[in-house]
Amino acid sequence: MSGFLLNVLLAVVWALLSGDVNLRELGVGFGLGYLLLRLFPDALGTRAYVRASVALLRFLGTFLRELTVANVQVALLALRARPNLNAMIFSVPLRPHTDLSLTLLTATVTLMPGSVVLGFDAGRTRMYMHGIGLASPEEARAGVKNVERLLLDFLPVPTGGRGGTA
């Protein structure tokens, strides 16, 4: 049984044993079940699930922090009389991606104010972007590579060739 399904099962069992099946009890049960799965990952066979969920939480935390910082930077640019936009088009080399991970990377980066994904090369090994308010293309690439690394920590990496639906 996968770790997530076991966690859901533990949440349902908790809600049933509490005598009140509602969203609050399911949430508490999910949290307690996750704690149990994290305490005994080898015995329950949930090491991969725990690792992926921690990576997902790390990605979400980083994304929210970067989104907040980008919003403040763009707002400050908009409030200046003569903003130094420093607009640039740059490319970012990519690791192998599934269709899902490439879509999520594109959506995540495009959600950041001041950046837009323009497209990819034919082999999907480079992503072309437009950005404003950044000091250099290297700084922009480093930010995208960080998001890519965090994303691929919890998503599957394709095994055969580039792209596809692994």
The pLDDT score that the predictor gives to residue 135 is 83
Whether residue 164 has pLDDT greater than 50: no
d(C-alpha 77, C-alpha 81), whole Å: 9
d(C-alpha 59, C-alpha 148), whole Å: 10
> Whole-model pTM?
0.79
Whether residue 9 has pLDDT greater than 80: yes
* Six token digits for residue 126: 């480079």
Dihedral of CA 31/35/37/41: which sign? positive
How confident is the model over 40-44, as a mean pLDDT?
93
* Cβ neighbours, 10 Å, residue 109: 22
User: pLDDT tens digit string along 21-37?
Assistant: 999 999 999 999 999 99
Query: Which residues have CB under 8 Å from 25's CB, separation 6+?
Result: 14, 15, 18
d(C-alpha 71, C-alpha 89), whole Å: 20
User: pLDDT tens digit string along 92-137?
Assistant: 999 988 899 999 999 999 998 889 999 999 999 999 999 988 888 8
Work out the pLDDT band at 156, boundaries 50, 70, 90: confident
Whether residue 55 has pLDDT greater than 70: yes
How confident is the model over 150-166, as a mean pLDDT?
69
d(C-alpha 32, C-alpha 125), whole Å: 41
